[in-house]
A and B are shown apart, each in its own frame.
Chain A
Amino acid sequence: MDEEKVIVFDPHYCSGCMYCMTACSTYNNGATSLSKSRIHIVRHEGHAITKMTDEDDLIFDVITCQQCDQPYCLYLCPVLAVERDNETGALMINQDKCVGCRMCMVGCPFGVILYDLNRKQVVKCELCGGDPQCVRFCASGALQFLPKNLAHLQKRDRLARKMIQLRSKASEEEPI
């Protein structure tokens, strides 16, 4: 299980180009349609930790399936169509079983399960079978696909950088 990887997002690098959404919808639907993308970029302004200068007021965040440990979609599915893949650790929708009742959509706290009107079934991020296309096509390097035990390193590095910056700023203002 140490091979299990997760999608890690760093808001500081994201430029909001939506390549990830384009890649996702193209790979999974065969046609580019941002509304059918399983990963979504949202914008919010001014982020306490990632904001370094005043110019950094537009910050993007990504909403995609978190592959939860205690997933409500898995418990709510009345036909056990939501299964966990043993290799990638992703929650998969078994299309042979899914009856399209949309109970999983009701339970998902992130709203990342989509309903496919053509197939009358739900679809969600399944990590593209272990090679997520959103990460592959991310232009700015904001999305990374890292093993679970390395996922926190980036955040730690970011905080350290921020602390150093703050400390140097403080020492300029009030020399000890």
Chain B
Amino acid sequence: MSVAAPKLRPEPRHTGERARPAHRPAARPPHVPRSTPSQRARRRSSPAFWVLTAIVVTVLIAGIVSISALLVRASFRVETIRETLSALQAEHAELTIEAVTLSAPSRIADWARNRGMVRAGDVQVLRVGGGAPA
């Protein structure tokens, strides 16, 4: 009965690096220049920042309000035009009816008769040089 030989842990190679110790001391955080309280206060209360913010917000609000106003105005104009169109269509329909009613042949004939007019005579055919009718 054979028994497998225990696996040997390879020895660290000596490549010039030093083996790391089991418990390394915590690495020091990189050096960050910490602002002083006076610097923080200066940044927070920077007037330029606030002015810029105010300008941007104002411009944005003004833009939105203007666009909204323009849209509302355009909407009112569209509505007005629509009403005008509708009114003109109604007027056109009324005028068409009036024109057609006024031009009715019976109305014109009655009107003419009342003023003593008579129907036109027949077409007179003139014969040129005694030949065929022209």
Partners in one complex: no
Residue positions of A touching B, CB distance < 8 A: none
